[in-house]
Structure 1
């Protein structure tokens, strides 16, 4: 095997070339890009993306991005299109054909067939003046003057440019549709990503015990409550059952260091609690509760509404849900 020197230099050069290609794409965004977005929005159907080879792989990724951001899309392999898959295309669909050169034999066979379906055809192509570019209704110009490999053969820079332009298209459609966080959560219910988007505090705290003591509770009563409920803390309530403080394991240890044993055991909950504890509402997203705990370096937070204690959320709950 030939020993190649300067491996790091080669890798950095590839990344710089691909980054430069994307940078230049931004300068090429013009009215034709807007026309593509408007064509998809006005059609009212799906986006059907087709391609062959590496373009097919990029097309599948763009389809996945469109579907997850509110634009219905499907992939049709260019080779399969001429063997029956053209039947996938419906009247209100928009077809995006991906090809670097836009002049391959497959494209020259496919384009006339696509035009017979009377749907809008968008070319995602590096060469605007190619066969595909000339015969499409609109062009997404994924210009890539050269590939990143020294032979200028391996699809690298061109596929990166096509993928980035597909992302730009998807996000423009997302914003023009007014796609919301709730919409995104509906399409991503699984895994930690989905939970970050939809899981709320109200989904977690009812499964935990509710440790609470009165302001007048003794240290012994506080310790027993914390121990029995196994959340590392207890809420402290006044005579009207309103939340006034919290006592944690850490509070108990600090107080034990500050007082003699006999004095410590005579303390009341009001004397060792932290007043006005940090709280979250039942409707808060669990991921926000996590961020709050991380920012304050605490392991549990009180769930309360208008001074009424509802429960606790512990860091272990969020770990169990896969948010960490």
Structure 2
């Protein structure tokens, strides 16, 4: 049931008009990003190299909406191996300037480059002899003229219908920050393993560091020989509670028996008490190395529509079982 409108004096917009507004907004912001691509020059290269060689930290500052974007860039830098902190431009002149050291680099964000807080703060930072990188949308501004390096984020118009609310301009700032971060990732050789060190919690971290062995070690390790009777096979499978058992001969995996194999056996044979493991096992089962990422086991299960994968050690010997439930329990699904 639709909720009645709380405001009877709102403009009447059709569904199509609402979608048109959204499409126009995204198109204008996409256009803004295309514009700043053309502005990239040697100043961007020098900024990246300056940050990469910085012995201290990156201090990122701004006012208003630019301050919010600055905080996101700080978060991105920190998570990709470039130490950074946020300094609000208004708070800086009331004591927070103490966080800046001569070995640091300062990035200042401003659309106009003429905000009173920015104009007051800039010469104070220069007194520290700390290099300043400006991400600015006005190349004739005080900030652009006094910064050591200028990254141009000028946009022709905001996506706001009134061309007032920071929309395209903040998108441009955010994207420029991402461009710096990704260039630094490549320049500093920051790997997926490095990324995992900074993201140990949550699903993302687990996808980057959780190994198959971390999960399979907690499971039973059901195993039978090719000559094991079906009765003993069933007992081994139910004891492990994994719906599977490995079939091993002379320390080598020769097959597996799953719940599905047992169902097919019962459909095929009226009398199966005399059957052996070799008669019903699936040969050449899907396997994974114990040191593989757990997310790779998930991909293998999805690819082949299975719920268990046999784990092997470095010598190709049977090492255990990883089950779909293990991955669900860890939040990888």
Measured against the shorter chain, the TM-score band is over 0.9
In the alignment, which of 273, 277, 287 is matched to residue 265 of structure 1?
273
Q: Does residue 316 in structure 1 map to residue 313 in structure 2?
A: no
Counterpart for residue 249 of structure 1: 259
Q: Does residue 211 in structure 1 map to residue 222 in structure 2?
A: yes
Instruction: Write the distance in 2 (CA, Å) between the matches of 1:109 and 1:272.
Output: 81
Instruction: Write the distance in 2 (CA, Å) between the matches of 1:233 and 1:48.
Output: 55
Instruction: Write the distance in 1 (CA, Å) between the matches of 2:124 and 2:261.
Output: 75
Instruction: Write the distance in 1 (CA, Å) between the matches of 2:331 and 2:224.
Output: 31
Structure 2 stretches of 5 or more lacking a match? Answer: 1-9
Q: Does residue 136 in structure 1 map to residue 147 in structure 2?
A: yes
**CA-based RMSD:** 1.0
Instruction: Write the distance in 1 (CA, Å) between the matches of 2:273 and 2:101.
Output: 78
Counterpart for residue 90 of structure 1: 101
Q: Does residue 170 in structure 1 map to residue 178 in structure 2?
A: no
Instruction: Write the distance in 2 (CA, Å) between the matches of 1:321 and 1:202.
Output: 13
Counterpart for residue 282 of structure 1: 290
Q: Which moved more, 1:4-13 or 1:153-162?
A: 4-13
How many residue pairs match? The answer is 321
Instruction: Write the distance in 2 (CA, Å) between the matches of 1:162 and 1:81.
Output: 21
Instruction: Write the distance in 2 (CA, Å) between the matches of 1:268 and 1:141.
Output: 74
In the alignment, which of 7, 12, 24 is matched to residue 3 of structure 1?
12
Counterpart for residue 148 of structure 1: 159
Q: Which moved more, 1:302-311 or 1:138-147?
A: 302-311
Instruction: Report the Cα offset of residue 265 of structure 1.
Output: 2.3
Instruction: Write the distance in 2 (CA, Å) between the matches of 1:271 and 1:131.
Output: 83
Q: Which moved more, 1:23-32 or 1:10-19?
A: 23-32
Q: TM-score of the superposition, structure 1-length normalised?
A: 0.97
Cα deviation per residue 1:215-252 (whole Å; 9 max; x = unaligned)? Answer: 011111111111111001000011x1321100000111
Instruction: Report the Cα offset of residue 23 of structure 1.
Output: 1.9
In the alignment, which of 24, 43, 58 is matched to residue 13 of structure 1?
24
Secondary structure at the aligned position of 1:265 is classed as coil
Counterpart for residue 294 of structure 1: 302
Instruction: Write the distance in 1 (CA, Å) between the matches of 2:92 and 2:282.
Output: 68
Secondary structure at the aligned position of 2:138 is classed as coil
Q: Which moved more, 1:16-25 or 1:154-163?
A: 16-25
Q: TM-score of the superposition, structure 2-length normalised?
A: 0.94
Instruction: Report the Cα offset of residue 27 of structure 1.
Output: 2.0
